[in-house]
């Protein structure tokens, strides 16, 4: 049977509804969970996040959110489970790590490829740990990430094997390929757009995954439209992988939402015309809640307001339709493709 592995258990893949392939219910940079000023009022946080999720489900038909928050970035399994229980939204948690420059705590940097694989498989098949405590909640996909960080964006230096990928990231990516192959789950990735200045980071990530035997059809390469990198995307699409259009309505490293949306929409139309409609997924990359947003973290990227879930249907989809994108295309991009890629055969 084909299932989505949500925090509340496996559900038939056909129950996915519209899927958002890269979001964050609760988010704080590594260390935020140690900050008394960021301490959560759990019930208030649950109300705040569940309110947004419930509105998205009831008003727009979103059925599944992939929470791409890695363990060292405040991943909170109980919180995801409570949001899911409260709203009926399927929530898929991930295992994996942030880029080495921002994440992968020292403890994990010391571990071998085999040990990292064992960690990922445990999260996916047995249950995730939160602050020393084992939870019954399982992850349903893996995140890998490469690149620098946002304070002083710059291209990544050359690492092992001549790629612009750090040594530990390389090991994490290899471990992820083994774990995903063992479990049959998807890998969704984060790249830093600055790396397009020196290489095609999508291809570099995919090459390492393929070297370890990963099925490219279960790989989503993220942030490829920020701004759109058509040639880089064509390269990995030809290798059998999928790409993700994210940051809908959220300007990241570019002028404005209007500017980015227009560029992304035009690029999407080109890829659809070239026949890649079965290999694209779409998401916001919103942060439903960041406890320090606007306080110590005043980067507009981090603000809770960002863009509302309604934006997909009030602004983005009308923009796409104006360019000739059909309901059939949208059904593939928002339902069929993510459902197929994130499903696990059990």
| Contact window for Zn ion (CB under 5 A) among 114-122, 142-150, 267-275, 284-292 | 284-292
Q: Which of residues 117-176 bind Zn ion (CB under 5 A)?
A: none
Q: CB-wise, 13 or 68, nearer to Zn ion?
A: 68
Per DSSP, 228 falls in state: B
Closest CB 24 distance from Zn ion, rounded Å = 6
Q: Does 192 help bind Zn ion (rule: CB under 5 A)?
A: no
Q: CB-wise, 137 or 288, nearer to Zn ion?
A: 288
Q: What angle do CA 141, 62, 182 make, to 5 degrees?
A: 15
Which residue in 262, 285, 251, 242 sits closest to 20, CA to CA? 285
Distance CA 34, CA 42 (A): 15
Closest CB 22 distance from Zn ion, rounded Å = 5
What are the Cα distances from residue 289, in Å, to 5, 173, 248?
A: 23, 28, 18
Contacts with Zn ion, 54-83, as mask; x by CB under 5 A: --------------x---------------
Q: CB-wise, 73 or 180, nearer to Zn ion?
A: 73
Q: CB-wise, 68 or 91, nearer to Zn ion?
A: 68
- The site that binds Zn ion (CB under 5 A) totals a number of residues, namely 2
Distance CA 326, CA 310 (A): 19
Q: What angle do CA 215, 24, 187 make, to 5 degrees?
A: 5
Q: CB-wise, 195 or 285, nearer to Zn ion?
A: 285
Q: Does 285 help bind Zn ion (rule: CB under 5 A)?
A: yes
Q: Does 100 help bind Zn ion (rule: CB under 5 A)?
A: no
| Contact window for Zn ion (CB under 5 A) among 225-233, 237-245, 282-290, 323-331 | 282-290
Closest CB 161 distance from Zn ion, rounded Å = 26
Residue 213 backbone zone (phi > 0: left; psi -120 to 50: alpha; other: beta): left
Distance CA 140, CA 123 (A): 8
The residue number whose beta carbon is nearest to Zn ion equals 285
Per DSSP, 25 falls in state: S
User: In which residue are the tokens 């320090």 written?
Assistant: 292
Q: CB-wise, 68 or 142, nearer to Zn ion?
A: 68
Q: What share of the chain is helix, strand, coil (3-state, %, to 5)?
A: 45, 15, 35
Footprint of Zn ion (CB under 5 A): 68, 285
């Amino acid at each position: 049977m084909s299932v989505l592995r949500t925090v509340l258990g496996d559900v038939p893949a056909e129950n996915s509804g519209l899927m958002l392939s890269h979001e964050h219910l609760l988010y704080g940079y590594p260390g935020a969970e140690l900050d008394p000023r960021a301490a959560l009022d759990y019930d208030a946080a649950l109300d705040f996040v569940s309110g947004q999720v419930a509105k998205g489900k009831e008003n727009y038909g979103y059925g599944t959110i992939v929470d791409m928050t890695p363990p060292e970035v405040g991943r909170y399994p109980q919180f995801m489970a409570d949001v899911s229980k409260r709203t009926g939204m399927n929530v898929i948690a991930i295992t994996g790590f942030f880029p080495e420059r921002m994440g992968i705590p020292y403890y994990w940097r010391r571990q071998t490829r085999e040990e990292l694989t064992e960690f990922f498989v445990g999260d996916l098949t047995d249950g995730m740990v939160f602050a020393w405590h084992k939870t019954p909640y399982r992850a349903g996909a893996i995140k890998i990430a490469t690149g620098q960080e946002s304070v002083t964006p710059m291209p990544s230096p050359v690492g092992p094997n001549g790629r612009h990928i750090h040594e530990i990231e390389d090991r994490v990516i290899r471990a992820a390929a083994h774990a995903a192959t063992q479990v049959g789950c998807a890998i969704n990735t984060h790249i830093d757009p600055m790396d397009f200045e020196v290489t095609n980071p999508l291809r570099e990530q995919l090459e390492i995954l393929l070297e370890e035997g990963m099925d490219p059809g279960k790989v989503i390469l993220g942030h490829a439209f920020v701004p759109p990198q058509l040639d880089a995307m064509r390269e990995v699409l030809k290798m059998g992988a999928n790409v993700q259009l994210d940051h809908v309505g959220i300007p990241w490293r570019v002028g404005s939402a209007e500017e980015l949306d227009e560029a992304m929409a035009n690029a999407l139309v080109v890829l659809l015309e070239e026949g890649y409609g079965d290999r694209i997924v779409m998401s916001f990359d919103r942060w439903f809640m960041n406890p320090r947003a606007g306080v110590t973290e005043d980067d507009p990227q981090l603000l809770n307001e960002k863009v509302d879930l309604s934006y997909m249907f009030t602004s983005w989809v009308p923009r796409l339709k104006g360019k000739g994108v059909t309901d059939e295309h949208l059904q593939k991009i928002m339902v069929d493709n993510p459902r197929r890629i994130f499903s696990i055969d059990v």
